[in-house]
Amino acid sequence: MKRWIPLLLLALAAASCSSPAENLAVLANGPGTVGVGPTQRLLFGLRAPDGTELASPELPMTLELSFREDPTNADDDEFVLSTPIHFEWMIPNVLGIYVADVAFARSGVWVATLVSSDGEESIPTPFGVDPHSSVPEVGEPAVVVASRTASSIGDLSAITTDTDPDLALYEISLDEALANGKPTVVAFATPAFCTSATCGPVVETIKAFRRSFPDDANWIHVEIYENIDVDNFADLVLTEAVAAWAFPTEPWVYVMDGSGIVVARFEGFVSQDELAAALAAASA
């Protein structure tokens, strides 16, 4: 993936500058996280030329995907598929994004175009698909690693930046949860960085579900950083669990079955419907 990034950024800049009158599809998945094989949950914003976000439930879209055989030649794009893309609220009735579930058969540079119901197309957006996602995929074993708990640390404020923490999310370590035979739902997130209305509050979603289904799963929140109170953000250090999972972005929510196999994974946000379906699959 890394070798494609400069090419992709150049292509994206060229695309946005060359056609300022058209809307731009923006892929919001992290670098290296989209891979060949299992169905991938792609996240797309849609920006107007002035930067305004257009994604809306009132603006239905179709996703068209092409494969670029030669990453340097946009004329070489080969149309592969057209698939429905649906709108999901990240924050109910406030902020949303388009979501598409796509399985890729080959790695390389792909090109996404969002097409409205009246046929208006966005500027084609190139993006990389890796031979394998850089983070655990659906169907693979979860990474077994200890996470900090209230009993191991003592001070809850030392292990979470949630200003209204649910103690139950810090009672069991991730490695112990993955071994006790119950499904596990874990949110890797830093609530302190989600203070403005720009991100899906995944920890709040997990807390609400745990209250409704306390015994259906192990419920865990893992902070991204060891040292949130730094003077300089460049000094942030990842927690051991996050480093072990090798996330390039946050937040992530993972759902594992009782055997510790990943049943679902969600980057950026998870809707209540998505989490309910994942929990049902993990419990089946």
What residues line the site for other proteins (CB under 8 A)? 5, 9, 12-13, 16-17, 20-21, 24, 26, 28, 30-31, 43, 45, 47, 49-55, 90, 95, 97, 193-194, 196-200, 224, 232-234, 236-238, 242, 247-250, 268-269
The pairing of beta strand 24-27 with beta strand 77-91: unpaired
| Single-letter amino acid code for the residue at 198 | T
| Residue closer to other proteins, measured from CB, 6 or 154 | 6
**β-bridge mates for residue 91, sequence order:** 95
> Which residue's CB is nearer to other proteins, number 98 or number 219?
98
Shortest gap between Cβ of 51 and other proteins (angstroms)?
3
Nearer to other proteins, 234 or 284 (CB): 234
Cβ 49 to other proteins shortest distance, Å: 4
Residue 68 C-beta: closest distance to other proteins, Å: 17
For residue 171, how far is the Cα from the chain centroid? 25
Task: Annotate 197-249 with three-state secondary structure.
Answer: CCCCCHHHHHHHHHHHCCCCCEEEEECCECCCCCCCHHHCCECHHHHHHCCCC
* Cβ nearer to other proteins, comparing 182 with 221: 221
Residue 33's alpha-carbon distances to 2, 71, 80, 146, 157, in angstroms, are 12, 19, 21, 23, 31
Q: Write down the least CB distance from residue 249 to other proteins, Å.
A: 5
Nearby residues of 212 by Cβ (< 8 Å), 6 or more positions away: none
Q: How far is the CB of 282 from other proteins (least distance, A)?
A: 25
CB of 193 to other proteins, least distance (A): 5
Whose Cβ is closer to other proteins: residue 21's or residue 105's?
21
CA 54 – CA 81 distance, rounded (Å)? 23
The residue (of 117 and 233) whose beta carbon lies closer to other proteins is: 233
The residues that bridge with 112 in the sheet, in sequence order, are: 65, 125
